[in-house]
Every structure is written in C-alpha cells, then in structure tokens.
Amino acid sequence: MTDAPDVGELTPPNRTLMGPGPSDVHPRVLRAMSTPLVGHLDPSFIEIMQEVQDLMRYTFRTDNKWTIPVSGTGSASMEAAIGNLVEPGDTMLVPTNGYFGGRMASMARRAGGEVVEVDAPWGEPLDPADVEDAFETHQPDVFGFVHAETSTGVKQPNVPELTAIAHSHDAYVVADCVTSLGGVELRVDDWDVDVAYSGPQKCLSCPPGASPLTLNDRAMDKVLSRETDPRSWYLDLSLLEGYWGEERAYHHTAPITNVYAIREALRLVAEEGIENRWARHLDVARSLKAGVEAMGLGLNPEPDAWLPSLNAVRVPDGVDDGAAIDYLLEHYDLEIAGGLGDLAGDVFRIGCMGHSAREANVCYLVPALGEALEAQGADVDVDAGLAAMRAEMAE
C-alpha cells in the first residue's frame, strides 16, 4: 500500500474572480459557512429553510410556492427543471445561440423528450418571430431559453413577448437564469415564466452547492401528474416536495453549509434591495464597457443584447487570447475567460457579478487587461480607457 501522502496545508491563491463564474464570494457568506452544523431536520434548520425560500422568492420576483434550493450546482437545478417537466414523448424547443441551449437539449433528450430548435447565431439573441415560426412548425410542449447566455454575453431581450408566444400555444416556459438572478432585471411572475432555475456562484456570489429553482402551480401540476417517474430519483420534485413542502420529511441530506451560504447571499440581496442590485450591476458594467471600448476594444453583442453580468469583449487582431488570460492570472491574480464554441478565440468573457461587480474591481481590471494586450504588441490606448472608465464612474 502507498504511504500517507505528504499533502501540505490548503493555501489557494487569492484571486480576483471576473470570469464567467464563480465570482468573488462576499466575506459574510464565507463566515456563514464556518458556523456549526445542525441536522437537516433540526427545528432550527426548518426555520432556515423557510427563510431561504422566502428570500429566494423575493430575488426571483415571484410568489411561487415551489421555490427551493436544489442540492448541486446550476446544472442540478437545470436538470431538475427539465427532467421533471419534460416527459417521454414531449417535445422541447431549445435555442442554438449558445453553449447552454445545447445543454438544455441534452437534458431534454435524456428525459425522453424530442428536441426541436430555434436558431440564432452565437452572440445574438433569439428573434421572437423565429420563436413564433418554430411554434407553428413544431408545436412544442416545452420552450426553453437562456435569459443570460454566459457563453456569449448575450441577454435575451423581450422575455414577456417570448412567454406570450409559448402560452398562446399552451406550452410551458423554462428560463435559464443562472447568470441573471440577482444581477440583471428578472421578473418571474410579471414576465410569466413558468419555471426558472439559477446557480449560486454567478450574480449571487455564493460558492456552488445549492441552486435556486422556482416553478409556478401550472408547471408543478404537470410535474405532479406525470405518468412515469422522472429518470432521476435524486432530482424528483415530487419526492423533494416532501422535504421542502409542508411535510419536511427526509429525502436526502440537505447540503447544510451551502444552505447557510445561500441564505447569507440572499440576505445580502434583500439588504441591498433587488432593484438597487440590478442598478449596481448595470452601473459597474457600464464603467467596464466604457473603459474597454475607449481602449479600442469592441463588445461583441449588439447594445440591446448586452449582458452587464458577462461582458464578451472582442479579442484584438493578432492577440492570443489564452496568453492574455494567462498573463492576467500570473501577474495580477485576476481571472477572466476566453470564448466557447463558435466564439472560441474571438472574445474574452469578463464577468461583473455579485461581489465582483464593484468599481474597485473594474479599476483593477481595465489597466491590467490593457497591459496584458500591450505585452503582445496590441495597439490599445490604456490611458483613454482609464479616462473613459473614470468619467463613467463619475456620472
């Protein structure tokens, strides 16, 4: 047998996280995570569950009773949404304009659904007219779209228009709100979204582990009247209802520490006020955008599809994106990311999420990015970038 490995104390580098997630965690959330464990059926924990659900409803802007943290990362709440709502034989309409629409398709197929697509290029939002056409052609039972596409930095505008199209065809709407919840305007009830899911480590600035999910009664009725059980036992909402609903009976052990964490993260949202929080993300991202644009870099999406929480900045000609990303990590302990899929090599993805959405972070990032590009001989005007960034901050 091997000897005991000689593993040193855990000393991760102290990064500034401005990539596509995770974002910097608020110190209060880290503190909440170091508080003592209680049992998952402890009366004190039942109270905490209630508080988390109330805070989550506030953040989603919904009165949905079925609002819970799903154990796992954003993909777990995503699979809980799709795996429960889509029944074998159902048709789900998904978008092709980014990485996460593709993941929706995989999950719908695994649930036994048939997948049909509505097309838009990577870097552009869906056009409601195309969604209408797809409904006419395929009559899907479920329509999924990505509100904030982290792979392309695109925010889907006209959400109420999309949900109205789906509902006029008696379909259910599932919205991926992983990179919008708590950072970008999102109104689940007013916009008539049937099912919305999110993750903790984007605009909520909480470590991954417990992921927000909300379903309205109409969607939950479909889930509870399924003819066949969903394929996942762990994510079966009819069973999770026993724990998160009135009964509070054991299904699986809740990730207690992650529930503490999201409680504190959501408490920070409530303290700030959800609308103030949306405004802060917008203001800080505007300074970032002004800075990079004045430096000579372009943002990839059209202005009406710009996603403040994830800025897709075009890589200048002749620059190796990977080398610039490595430069920032090495010299500044600063994390940003490159493009995915159709945009690989074409954009930097710069997050402006939650606790990372601060002016101080933008002041740190803009000159550092400029330096990383200049190190490769790119023609950028860092001084102009800084001046525009400061002017925007003074607005």
Only one of the segments 25-33, 58-66, 70-78, 267-275 lies at the binding site for ligand PLP (rule: CB under 6 A); that segment is 70-78
Which backbone phi and psi does 300 adopt, to 5 degrees? -70, -50
Which is it for strands 91-95 and 66-72: parallel, antiparallel or unpaired? unpaired
Residue 17 in contact with ligand PLP, rule: CB under 6 A: no
Nearest to 212 by CA among 373, 66, 322, 354: 66
User: Nearer Cβ to ligand PLP, position 184 or 366?
Assistant: 184
Q: Tokens standing for 285?
A: 């991202």
Under the binding rule (CB under 6 A), the answer on residue 232 touching ligand PLP is no
Q: Out of 150, 163, 214, 356, which residue is the one contacting ligand PLP (CB under 6 A)?
A: 150
**What is the three-state SS of 174-229?**
EEECCCCCCCCCCCCCCCCCCEEECCCCCCCCCCCEEEEEEECHHHHHHHHCCCCC
Q: How many residues bind ligand PLP (CB under 6 A)?
A: 13
CA distance 77 to 213: 6
Report the relative pairing of strands 172-176 and 195-197 from DSSP bridges.
Answer: parallel
Using alpha carbons, list the distances in angstroms from residue 344 to 81, 134, 228, 321: 29, 28, 40, 9
Binding segment (CB under 6 A) for ligand PLP, from list 172-180, 315-323, 367-375, 384-392: 172-180
Does residue 376 interact with ligand PLP by CB under 6 A? Answer: no
The reply on whether position 258 binds ligand PLP by CB under 6 A is: no
How far apart CA 319 and CA 299 sit, in angstroms, is: 16
Q: Interface with ligand PLP includes 183 (CB under 6 A)? A: no
Please say which residue, 205 or 382, places its beta carbon nearer to ligand PLP: 205
Given 19, 53, 59, 74, the residue binding ligand PLP (CB under 6 A): 74
Calpha distance 130→116 (Å, rounded) = 13
337 binds ligand PLP (CB under 6 A): no
**How far apart (Å, rounded) are the C-alpha atoms in residues 41 and 43?**
6
Q: Per rule CB under 6 A, is residue 178 in the interface with ligand PLP?
A: yes
Contact status, residue 177 vs residue 186, Cβ threshold 8 Å: yes
Chosen residue from 113, 183, 199, 316 binding ligand PLP by CB under 6 A: 199
Q: Is 361 in the site for ligand PLP (CB under 6 A)?
A: no
Nearest-CB residue for ligand PLP:
74
How far apart CA 226 and CA 184 sit, in angstroms, is: 33
Shortest distance (Å) from residue 257 CB to ligand PLP: 17
Six token digits for residue 80: 């809980």
State yes or no: residue 179 binds ligand PLP (CB under 6 A).
yes
When binding is defined by CB under 6 A, the residue of 69, 208, 301, 385 that contacts ligand PLP is 208
Are the C-beta atoms of 293 and 314 separated by less than 8 Å?
no
How far, in Å, CA of 353 to CA of 351, rounded? Answer: 6
Q: Among 16, 62, 64, 73, indicate the residue that binds ligand PLP (CB under 6 A).
A: 73
Q: Is residue 100 at the binding interface for ligand PLP, with CB under 6 A as the rule?
A: yes
| Spatial CA neighbour of 312 closest among 40, 33, 125 | 125
Fill in the per-residue mask, 273 to 292: x = in contact with ligand PLP (CB under 6 A), - = not in contact: --------------------
Q: Which is nearer to ligand PLP, 174 or 219 (CB)?
A: 174
Four-CA torsion 64, 65, 66, 68, nearest 10 degrees: 100
Cβ 395 to ligand PLP shortest distance, Å: 29
Minimum CB separation from ligand PLP for residue 196, in Å?
A: 12
Q: Which is nearer to ligand PLP, 21 or 125 (CB)?
A: 21
Q: Which stretch binds ligand PLP (CB under 6 A): 176-184, 256-264, 282-290, 366-374?
A: 176-184
Interatomic CA distance for residues 197 and 80, integer angstroms: 9
Instruction: Provide the token pair at 186.
Output: 């999102």
Binding segment for ligand PLP (CB under 6 A), chosen from 73-81, 161-169, 343-351, 353-361, is 73-81
The window from 51-59, 175-183, 340-348, 373-381 that contacts ligand PLP (CB under 6 A) reads: 175-183
* Residues that bind ligand PLP in the complex, under the rule CB under 6 A: 21, 73-75, 78, 100, 146, 150, 176, 178-179, 199, 208
